Structure 1
Amino acid sequence: MSSVDYKVMYNKMKNVTSRTQKIMDFVRSEHEKDEGSMNQNGNTLAKDRGDIEICETSLQTPNITDAISDIDGPQETLSFAESQNVSTTESKSTTDENVNDDQALSSTKIAAEYPVDNDPITEPGSESDHGASSSDNYDPENESSSSSSSCSTCSSSSSSSEDSSQETSKLPLKRKKKNIGTWKKNIRKQKRLRGEAYISVKNIEKPARPLLPPPCAAKPKHKCLQSVSEENRSKIYVEFRRLSALDDQRSFIIHHVEQIPKKRITRNLENSRRENTCNYFLTVDGQKMKVCREFFMSTLKVTDSFIRISLQKRSSTGIVEKDRRGKHTPANKLTDDCLQIIRDHILTFPAVESHYCRSSSKKKYLDPTLNLSIMHNMYKSLCEEKNIPPVSLEKYRQVFKEYNVGFFKPKKDQCKICLAQKNMTGEEKEAQEETFQQHLKRKESARKTRNEDKLEAKDNSTLIAFNFDLEAVLTTPKGAAGQIFYLRKLAVYNLTIYNIGNQDGICYLWDETQGKRGSNEIASCIYEYVLSNTEIKKGRMMSDGCGSQQKNSNFAAMCMYLISVHPSLKIIDHKFFETGNTEMECDSIHSKIEQKAKHVPVYIPEGWAQGIRDARMKPRPFEVKSRSFDDFYDFKEYTAQNFDMSKIPWRKICWIRYLKSDKTEVFYKIGFDQEFQEVNCKKKFRGRPKTVELKKAYECELPIAKPKYLDLQKMCSDLTIEEFGAKSGQRPNLSKSRFRQILH
């Protein structure tokens, strides 16, 4: 963000509340740091224009942007109830990754000592959701909210992040609630109370009750029109009809009708029922004026029965008795204890954040293999154990809808620029038309160059063209056993590479004990893939612009190292899709894998490999390559020791090129139709430069967080994994021993 943007934002917000002023002080201090400081790799820390919008709309925390996690590794899934007790602290750190245009960055990062990927579902009455998106995807990891909408699995990979607390943010309830004011019967009641025309329950049209001249005008006994003028009479009628409750209108009646014992008997009736005489009054300028009965009823447009019933409902203290119609408790109403059992059962299922839109939505997602029918069957089993009657599926669904949770359904990315343009008014569209057309032009240019590479790769054996993407986390074990839904699972990562020239699909597979999912892992897999093609001279790859994985200095250093050690490779081109429009062949591969594994149990990480191979038969099955911790290289350290890439505008580039003839030069484009710009990335040293060798990223397997470790051990001890193996016809004992091998 430029200094002009910060000044504009400051001028807009400098006169608001003191709390907002604190946020502005934070923004200005960060801007000063941004101008004079660099991160560890020399990269200027960029910020997104989304920061301004967040400042203007959300003032609930001192930080103006969503926290960005610096943890590469697997993040733990706590049950809803357990995550309520997680203590919170805060710390700051800076990342050495560069991010793309749609990432809202801040130099303040929040990391978790044991990151929690599922927030607890709160009880009814908590805060509501502030926005949800149809592009939400399921991800069992609590990744940073700075993800671009085009990134399938964003995660910050800075190893320098400090441990900080995890905040148990509450999951809001659904935003949409029943509005009884819009119900037809309530609208009918309100119209009747206001004296307006309405349609009765029996579909009979009832006319309005306008104010008419009093029938007693020719009777001068009380001189009503002299006491209450027509203007005051009209005013009383309007105010009376504005009383929206029947009890309020009855209260008005009993305070303006006086009942006194009758003074004389005018008829010789032995069994007369009349005991009282009524005097009628209307208030004018604070004084009660006595009027006749006909004048009183015609002014308020009420009937004799309405007055009589209102007087009958007056208590000895002069307070009207409340109308009890519709207030009785239904005979079949569920007790609070019964509803609490349903809520407690829903709370036991681990939920995860939105995969793409966690910064704009608080909605949570349950396991994709779950649905309401399965949850209700599990609830009925629980009721049988406790010997209590279960509720119906419909009632269970009603309670479930109290919470802002859903089930994961894979969906295509949605471009927020295109959606914003669609929702704009005519004037707003005209103002943003030029920006929108530029966005469409960049999108079409990216697709055009992808198609050109595809055609050229088919005819040129010395050219390799591919795209790659990291799939949403695969949880293990996965199956139909009821108890598995309540436990944390092992995270498995799948980096998919699709060769657009020969239609080969390669999946690099590893679990969270072997590596994380940051730039080191992504760069190592691409390095191994390109290096294995020994006869190529040109390499062209396309991906989304995820700054924490491939659009950063670490991945660039890998490309420069790769082209220097490859025997025949002379040029590498890395192109990026336009943000929000990253449809590629890898997405289809991921969709096929998810469809294939939907009804197949997977109870060890290696089980995913077979599912991936079976996902496609023609032209060839997908190839699976398992990775271990010693297959990943530390390109972060290699970058810090050899290169200075702070001059590269990472968030703006769409094309970056590396040449074998220029080992320290990087060429980049801001637009596909523009010329290349050159940057020398050689790091300046004092004295004689040292030769830095490429090192391994990990020396041993990575540990599993204790809560997840206990859950996985529980699945081994109670034979959950063995049951999966027995049902699928595979070797359960081997599965169990393999899982214990992973745990130890």
Structure 2
Amino acid sequence: MIQSRKPDEWAPEEDDITSLSNVYDGQLQCDEETEILMELEAVPESLDGGIPSDVKMIAVAVDNNDEPMLFAENVGDEIIPVVDKEYEKNDTLESCSSDSKHPIANTVLTEYHSDLNYQTETCSSSNESVSSAATIEKKGRKRSRNCKKWKNNIRKTKKAAGEEYVSAKQKVIPAKSMKLPCGVDCKKKCTLNISSDDRASIYSQFWSSELLVDQKRQFIAGCIEEVPVQRVRTRTGSRAGKRKYSLRYFFTVNGKKISVCRTFFINTLSISQTSIRFALTKRLSSGVVIPDQRGKHEPPNKIGPEVRNIIREHIQKFPCVDSHYSRNKSQRRYLGSHLSISKMYQCFYEECIEKKLSQAEIPKQWLYADIFNTEFNLSFKEPDNDTCDTCDEFLIKLKDAGSVEERNELQKKYEAHLLDADNRYKYKRKDKEGARAQPGIKMITVDLQKCLATPLLKNCQSFYSLKLWTFNYTIYDATDKSADCFVWDESVAGRGGNEMASCMMRYILDLPNSIERIIIWSDNCPSQNRNQQMIMCYSYLLMMKPSLKCIEHKFLLRGHTHMEADTVHARIEKQIKSLPQFQICTPWDWQQLIRLCGPNIAVKEMETDNFKNFNDLQGCIFQSKKKTVTNQTFFVSKVVHMKFLAETPGVMHFKTKFCQENFEQIDYHRVNRRSTRQLNNPSTSSLPTLLPIRNDPKPISTKKYTDLQKLLKWVPQRFHGYYKNLRHEAVHEDD
């Protein structure tokens, strides 16, 4: 029994040669991993006595993993697999389905080499050659072309289906429709032998979009018989002796062939005599219609594979790196930003000159670019996100490992590091799904955007001058996909723990009372997220907002901190590039630009009195401690999960590993009667009022102030007063 297998599983069996006749009986079988797309159901009468050696049997199959289709072909005395090069997958599905109801779909595909003069390239029976031929090429950096959406192919498809289409000369060709049958005077009485319903069924099947042009021609040729001329008239002149045979037309209805006249045949199928004449011209003596050969001939000037291999080898010489954050979603790799296709081709050209190749032998740049774009998923753009220091360190150590044991040990640690990063992303995704399913939970991600230079100038001289920094602390609500951007500049406040905690407090106090639990995800920046000010802020908020029952803050792994808040920052940077005419002269211009990024982004301006000093809480109701309740040393830098409950005010529950089963605790209570009474009865007692960090604007450095004055010649006159009135003093410039 012939079985269709995957390329790497093919192994010709002895019984395959002797069982070829079983294929004609519709007994073609396959294993569980493949699906037969065509079964041969009929046996030609000429083959009842045996199968001649020049007959090629074709069995088209494809597995569930979209492996390439195979031909089972008998060549001489053996059966070998052949990679399908003649039929595309879609064509095979349409033309070779065993369940097809079309008259031509189940025609036996038995072809004679002597009639078709057709040769098929065969592969070696070894597993290696078949596997290499079936290898799927790597996706290129450019979008794969979709030939089905080409205008010319759409026009061909509509024409083959009998639908209305616009020709290449922009002429509207009306849709096909079944014409009137022959009259009552017809000698064959076609309208009495074939009902209107059967006639409509034949028409709809013939013009179905699932039937290809070659199948339509095969159907037409199969419904026409050539018989010798029964009556010959004596003719003279140009028409003398031209007609040697007559045509008889048939339709098969309910398994019975019914003879019809030419008018009935043509009007039922809505075709012309030219279509009939062309189908008969293509028909061989065996009854098989030669497929359309247009577009299947190899051009005489086709570029050989050895030329393409030289280009591929040269492209592979350039070192490239993987994308850090998107390596699980994309296979794109990155070349150096100093390179380009033109520069790479120039290197290739010089290499060919060194090999003393003539100008005619050197491939052109268009071919080099085509191979680069279609066969390699490479980019010259640097990855948008920084790579992980730990990952880079592991990769260097793996390359320099001196022994197999050392390499295996490093590989285990590296895989554990990646597993930890992936698990934290999974926990974040789970929190997001849970927050969307429960209205009382809010899941947010927070991040401080990189400093925004103000004014934003692009000339060379301004590049070396210090500018005023504008800060954007983004809180992204993953529940309803909205974002709040808290914006201020360095003349208002800095970017430490008190500033971040003040933005967080303003955001949480504005939430509706229906929110009982807040889950926060952020990076590990100690000065912004993982510090004593944020701990005091969360404890204070649970007393300020009685409807809030729980606040959790979780941290992603260092170097693997890509979050939803980063997408807002990317949108802002994209907006800057898309609006080159938008001038950024003051921090308020940044606020207007952020508002243009989308309706789901809200901008909240932070003033000097909005930034509170949470360090004051440690002197009245809280106290900084370095020991847990079990007298263990506490390091806030090792915390990965912080949890604050309204039922235990002033106590932080924390984990140093996500796999840790139970939370550890650290009590920030200040041991005195007043603080204990305030913590136990926060709703009835008067909580301490948080004072601003400073009452006056924050001064900038004198050096920065001097540089800003130099930049005023590129800033409109109406904004000069703002920069001249900035407070400044001789302070250390940390940026």
Tell whether the structures are fold-level matches, with TM greater than 0.5: no
TM-score range, shorter chain: 0.3 to 0.5
TM-score (ref. length: structure 1): 0.42
TM-score, with structure 2 as normaliser = 0.42
